[in-house]
Amino acid sequence: MERFYDNLTGLPGMTYFYELAGAECKRLIALGNVPAVMFFDISGMKQYNHKYGFRQGDDLLISFSALITDQFGDENCSRFAKDHFVAISDNRDLEYKLHSLFDEWKKIVDTLNMPVRVGVYEIDTASTDIVVACDNAKVACDMLRKTYISSISYYDKKLEEDIERKEYIISNFEKALCERWINVYYQPIVRAINGCVCDEEALARWIDPDKGFLSPADFINTLEEAHLIYKLDLYVVDRIIEKLKKIRAMGMIPVPQSVNLSRTDFDECDMVDEICKRVDAAGLDHQLITVEITESIVASDFDYMKQQVKRFRDLGFQVWMDDFGSGYSSLDVLQDLEFDLIKFDMRFLHKLDDGRNGKIILTDLMRMATALGLETVCEGVETGEHEAFLKDIGCCKLQGYYYTKPLPIERILERYSDNDHIRFETPVEAPYFDVLGKFNLYDLDWALESEKEDFDRFYNSMPMVIMELSNDSVRIVRSNASYREFAARTFPRNVGSEFERFDTIPQQHRGSFLPYLIECADTGKRIFVDEHFPNGNTVHTFMRRIAINPVTGIRSVAIAVLSVTEDIKTVTDI
C-alpha cells in the first residue's frame, strides 16, 4: 500500500487521490452539493529548511497535513509534492474552514511569516476531469504568488480569460515584434520653467489585428513573468533610435528619449552593453537615451542594480528613478544610489484634492529632491491647477494628459508640420534651464556659501524670485508664494511673466533697484540692495546671477528679500 500513500504524511499520493477525489466528486454532486478542489501552497518552506534543517521542516509538513485532514478528512487530502497539498470538499462553509485552518497554522509557525495560499476550483458537473480540476485550483493559487498573507483565490471565468490572454500574448509575441503590432508611442515631458518639451517617454502599445488594443498592464506583466520583457525593451530602444535618426534627417530638434527597464531585463542579458552597442552603432549621443528604473527594481537586488546604474551613468546615459514614493524604501535608495532625476508617482497628484496633507508631503519631497541636487518630474498632470501647484513648489518637469496623451511618431510629425505642437527645447539651452529648474527658492543655501557671516543679521525664511534679463527687458520666470504675497503688498505694479522693457518700469524701481539688477546680470557680482520707499520703509534684498542662456544671451538672477525695515542702509557690493 506504500505506493498509494505519501511516506512522510501518510496522506494519499497524487495518483490515488485522483481516484478517491473522482469518487467523492460524484458522491457530492449526487447529494446536490458543489464539490470544491483546493490547492495549498506553503510559502517560506525553503527558507525554513535552510534555517532549521530538513528534519524540522518535515515535522512542519506533518503538522500541516494534520490541519487539513482535521477539516476535510483523511481520504480527501493529498500531498502532491514538497509543500504542495490538495483537498476536496463541498463548498458549504468552505471559507470558514479555511480561515480556521489559517488561524491554527499561525499558532504553529508562531512569529514566522509563512502564509498559506489556497486556490479553489468549484466543480459544476460530474463529468469534470479531476486532474483538470486540480490544475485549475493550482492556477488560482499561483495568482497569489505576490501575496504575503494567507489568502484564498477562486478559479472563475475571468481568471480563465486571463490565462487565455496570457497564452495568446506569449505565443504571438515574436510575431507581434516582427509584424510591428507593437507600436511605440511618445509622451512629452514639459519643462515647467519654459513650457517646452525637454524629454519624451517611449511607451509600448500592442495593437493586435485580432484582439485589438491590448492593455500594457496585461502584456507587460505577462512578458515579465515569462522573462521575455527584455526583448520588448530592446525593441523599444531600436524604435527610439529609428525615430531619432528620422528626426535628425528632417532637421528637427531631438530631445532625450526615456525607456523603461524591467528587473528581469538584467537577468536575461547585459542590458547596459546591449543599449550602448545599439546607440553607438547609430552614431547617437548617449545623452539622448534616458533609462528609467523603478524603485522596486533597485530594491530587488540593491548591490547589483547599484552597479548597473553606475555603469549607465559612467557611459553618459542619464538614469531616472521612476515611480518614486510607490514603495517604502525610496529615501534609503536615494541616500545610497546616484540618480539624475526622480519621477514622482502619479498617485501623489491624485491625492492632492483629498486634503492639505497630500500637498504638504509632495511639497516637502520636492524640496528634499532639490536640496539633493536632483531634477524632478511629476506624472499624471491633468489640470491647470496641477500645473500651477507643481510649478509653485519647484517641480522641474511635468508630464500628463494636460499637455497631450502618448502619440505615435506619425502623429507627432503631423502636429509639427501643422505647427500644432508644444515647442521643443534646444539641447544647447537645456543646461541653462536645468540650473533654473533645480534652483531652490525655499532655502538660502544658494546665497550663503562663503558669505554666511554676512547674513547673520538677516532671517532666512523669505520671499524669493528668479528674473531673466535681456539687453533691454526683464521678466519674472519663477517665484515662490512668499514673494508673490510680498510683491502684491509692496509694489503698486510689479514686473510680470512676460518681458517688459526697462523704460516702462515704474520710476521707483528704475532708479533704486533696476541698475543693481542689471549690474548683477552683466558682471556676475553678488549684490545687497537697500531700496527706499516713499513711506519710509527700506526693502533689503540680495541678488546673484545664476546662469546665462548660451543661445539667447539672457541672464538669470536670483533675488531674496531679506527683510523690510525703516532703517537707512547703504548698497554693498560683494
- Over the stretch 122-160, which tens digit does the pLDDT of each residue have? 998 878 899 999 999 999 999 898 788 999 999 988 888
Residues 474 and 387 both lie in one domain:
no
Residues 403 and 461 both lie in one domain:
no
Is 354 within the bounds of a domain?
yes
In the structure grid, which three cell numbers stand for residue 347, read together?
A: 498617485
Residues 110 and 221 both lie in one domain:
no
Residues 419 and 493 both lie in one domain:
no
pLDDT given at position 330: 58
275 vs 486, more confident: 275
In the structure grid, which three cell numbers stand for residue 323, read together?
A: 515611480
Whether the pLDDT of residue 435 is over 80: the answer is yes
Distance, in Å, from the CA atom of 536 to the CA atom of 449, rounded to the nearest integer, reads: 32
CATH classification at residue 245 = 3.20.20.450
Alpha-carbon torsion, ordered 123, 125, 127, 132, to 10 deg: -20
Number of domains in the chain: 3
Residues 210 and 281 both lie in one domain:
yes
Distance, in Å, from the CA atom of 88 to the CA atom of 38, rounded to the nearest integer, reads: 6
Distance, in Å, from the CA atom of 88 to the CA atom of 152, rounded to the nearest integer, reads: 15
- Name 5's bridge partners: 12
Nearest residue to 563 (alpha-carbon basis) of 539, 531, 530? 539
- Over the stretch 234-247, which tens digit does the pLDDT of each residue have? 999 999 999 999 99
Residues 187 and 268 both lie in one domain:
yes
Distance, in Å, from the CA atom of 216 to the CA atom of 341, rounded to the nearest integer, reads: 24
Per-residue H/E/C for 100-144? HHHHHHHHHHCCCCCCEEEEEEECCCCCCCHHHHHHHHHHHHHCC
Q: How far apart are the first and last CA of the chain?
A: 96
Is 161 within the bounds of a domain?
no
**361 confidence band (pLDDT: 50, 70, 90):** confident
Nearest residue to 20 (alpha-carbon basis) of 28, 12, 29? 12
Q: What is the three-class DSSP state of 171? A: helix
Residues 480 and 546 both lie in one domain:
yes
pLDDT given at position 571: 47
CATH classification at residue 91 = 3.30.70.270
- Over the stretch 281-331, which tens digit does the pLDDT of each residue have? 999 999 999 999 987 787 777 888 889 999 999 999 999 998 886 655 556
Distance, in Å, from the CA atom of 33 to the CA atom of 413, rounded to the nearest integer, reads: 63
Residues 95 and 232 both lie in one domain:
no
pLDDT given at position 364: 84
Is 430 within the bounds of a domain?
no
In the structure grid, which three cell numbers stand for residue 508, read together?
A: 521707483
Pairing of strands 35-42, 116-122: antiparallel
Nearest residue to 343 (alpha-carbon basis) of 314, 380, 371? 380
Is 432 within the bounds of a domain?
no
- Over the stretch 372-418, which tens digit does the pLDDT of each residue have? 888 999 999 999 989 988 988 889 999 999 999 999 999 988 887 77
485 vs 120, more confident: 120
Nearest residue to 198 (alpha-carbon basis) of 376, 14, 402? 376
CATH classification at residue 565 = 3.30.450
Exposure string of 365-383, with b = 16+ CB inside 10 Å and e = fewer, is bbbebbeeebbbbbbbbee
Give percent above pLDDT 70 in the chain.
92
Indicate the helix (H) or strand (E) that contains 445: helix 445-448
Residues 183 and 146 both lie in one domain:
no
Indicate the helix (H) or strand (E) that contains 318: strand 318-324
Average pLDDT of 445-459?
Answer: 50
Residues 350 and 461 both lie in one domain:
no
Residues 114 and 86 both lie in one domain:
yes
- Over the stretch 531-568, which tens digit does the pLDDT of each residue have? 887 777 888 899 999 999 999 999 999 999 988 886 54
- Out of 121, 155, 189, pick the residue that ends a domain: 155
- Name 548's bridge partners: 555
Residues 140 and 239 both lie in one domain:
no
**Which structural domain, as residue segments, surrounds residue 207?**
176-425
